[in-house]
């Protein structure tokens, strides 16, 4: 089944291949993530050169105009399609920092960014507002994302910019949107604006390709276009290119199914781990890699792009073991975990149990860490390696 953008002929530019219970919800989710990625690309290009737009959070991480703007945009669209009174959205950002007296200029920038983005909604097969949103409406949209989730009902889970450090540095990041039904992840969408459609373009010299792409006109599936991956439970996982500024290309039939790698020999496998050392132990994962016989250089990328890499076969293993006191949040894993599973992979905690997204904003009851693998063989070996190594670790 292929969605044609409903009654909007422009919607055919970004077909969503779906066939399942949540077809409509996934269709809207993919399109709003496409729209959000377009917003992020524009903000990131300016942000790299204008560091005054970066604000420090109390936890010393970074938040940008894009965080609030994406959250407002996604919240507004979901509310328009599914009803603002009944919708439940779990997301990271709140409105407190934007309502301070000294944040007037920042709020004005967010409002302007949101309106510019929503003015292009029709080009992504979505309904836009009849008139520009005011500050109060933007704040209301952001503030609407105050749900704690839980085991009952339907909850949307959003990470507006996952991998903020990667975003600020012009590197990898993701827009992640998932939906929970009765505590279970039933659909997930990952927008990866800097993750190229082709693996061959993913290398440590990506900045060279970025420079070269600016010297010539965009070409079909050019490296910088990025991609969006998506899935719903019980169906396949899919990938489509980002809708770029140059709309001369037809995106019909460009969505393709993705599958995890068939590699099950640790010596041939590539493993991913977080770039940041603040909330994960590189030394422990390095020890596990050595004990399993992993020999290839680890792929260290920001954000849920690690999940994307495994889902389409660019890597085979992702493992994260948080340092004491750090609690994993559901928006950092929900979308990516489902996409890997529907692409044929396995995602559990380090004890081999499925991740539990029904306990609120945190992955409560997590056994030591998170493990994602391309298949059962590697997963079994990694679980064994964790048990064999854990007692000697300092985590």
Residues 249 and 274 in one domain: no
3-state helix, strand, coil in the chain (%, to 5): 40, 15, 45
Residues 252 and 327 in one domain: no
Residues 99 and 140 in one domain: yes
Residues 244 and 272 in one domain: no
Considering only CA atoms, which of 280, 342, 359, 285 is closest in space to residue 308? 342
Residues 219 and 313 in one domain: no
Q: What pLDDT is stored for residue 212 in this prediction?
A: 45
Number of domains in the chain: 2
Q: Where residue 156 sits, what CATH number does that domain have?
A: 3.30.540.10
Considering only CA atoms, which of 197, 199, 200, 173 is closest in space to residue 33? 173
The residue among 258, 276, 311 that closes a domain is 258
Domain assignment present for 356: yes
CB contact set of 22 (below 8 Å; sequence gap of 6+): 179, 186, 187, 232, 233
Domain assignment present for 380: yes
**pLDDT classification of 272: cutoffs 50, 70, 90:** confident
Residues 231 and 354 in one domain: no
Query: How far is the C-alpha of 315 from the C-alpha of 294, rounded, in Å?
Result: 12
Q: Residues within the annotated binding site?
A: 92, 159, 162, 332
Over the stretch 76-127, which tens digit does the pLDDT of each residue have?
Answer: 999 999 998 889 999 988 888 888 888 899 899 999 999 999 999 999 999 9
What is the average pLDDT across 143-151? 96
Residues 229 and 278 in one domain: no
Residues 250 and 374 in one domain: no
Domain assignment present for 3: no
Residue span of the structural domain in which 296 resides? 266-390
Domain assignment present for 395: no
Domain assignment present for 182: yes
Q: Residues within the annotated binding site for Mg(2+)?
A: 92, 159, 162, 332
Q: What pLDDT is stored for residue 220 in this prediction?
A: 40
Q: Are 187 and 25 in contact (CB under 8 A)?
A: yes
Domain assignment present for 138: yes
The residue among 258, 291, 308 that closes a domain is 258
Q: Where residue 383 sits, what CATH number does that domain have?
A: 3.40.190.80
**pLDDT classification of 6: cutoffs 50, 70, 90:** very low
The residue among 224, 258, 292 that closes a domain is 258
Over the stretch 290-332, which tens digit does the pLDDT of each residue have?
Answer: 788 787 877 778 889 999 999 999 999 998 887 778 899 999 9
Residues 90 and 121 in one domain: yes
What is the average pLDDT across 166-186? 93
Q: Kindly list the catalytic residues.
A: 67, 164
């Amino acid at each position: 089944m292929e969605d044609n953008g409903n009654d909007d002929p422009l919607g055919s530019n970004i077909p969503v291949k779906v066939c399942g219970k949540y077809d409509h919800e996934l269709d809207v989710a993919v399109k709003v993530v496409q729209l959000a990625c377009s917003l992020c690309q524009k903000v990131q290009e300016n942000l790299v050169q204008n560091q005054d737009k970066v604000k420090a959070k109390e936890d010393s991480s970074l938040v940008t105009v894009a965080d609030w703007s994406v959250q407002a945009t996604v919240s507004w669209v979901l509310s328009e399609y599914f009803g603002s009174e009944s919708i439940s959205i779990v997301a990271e950002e709140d409105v407190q920092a934007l309502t301070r007296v000294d944040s007037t200029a920042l709020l004005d920038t967010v409002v302007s960014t949101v309106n510019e983005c929503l003015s292009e909604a029709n080009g992504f097969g979505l309904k836009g507002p009849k008139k520009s949103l005011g500050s109060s409406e933007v704040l209301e949209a952001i503030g609407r994302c105050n749900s704690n989730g839980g085991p009952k009902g339907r909850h949307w889970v959003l990470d507006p910019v996952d991998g903020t450090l990667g975003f600020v540095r012009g590197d990898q990041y993701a827009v992640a949107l998932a939906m929970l039904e009765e505590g279970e992840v039933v659909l997930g969408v990952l927008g990866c604006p800097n993750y190229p459609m082709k693996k061959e373009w993913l290398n440590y010299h990506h900045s060279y390709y970025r420079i070269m792409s600016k010297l010539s006109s965009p070409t079909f599936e050019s490296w910088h276009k990025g991609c969006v991956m998506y899935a719903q439970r019980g169906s396949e996982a899919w990938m489509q290119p980002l809708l770029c500024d140059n709309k001369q290309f037809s995106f019909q039939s460009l969505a393709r199914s993705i599958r995890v790698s068939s590699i099950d020999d640790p010596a041939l496998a590539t493993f991913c781990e977080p770039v940041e050392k603040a909330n994960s132990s590189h030394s422990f994962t390095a020890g596990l890699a050595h004990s399993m016989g992993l020999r290839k250089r680890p792929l260290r990328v920001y954000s849920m792009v690690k999940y994307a890499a495994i889902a389409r076969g660019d890597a085979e293993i992702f493992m994260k073991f948080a340092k004491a006191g750090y609690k994993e949040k559901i928006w950092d894993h929900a979308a990516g975990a489902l996409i890997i599973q529907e692409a044929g992979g396995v995602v559990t905690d380090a004890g081999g149990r499925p991740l539990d997204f029904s306990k609120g904003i945190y992955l409560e009851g997590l056994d030591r860490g998170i493990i994602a693998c391309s298949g059962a063989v590697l997963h079994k070996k990694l679980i064994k390696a964790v048990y064999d190594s854990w007692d000697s670790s300092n985590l």
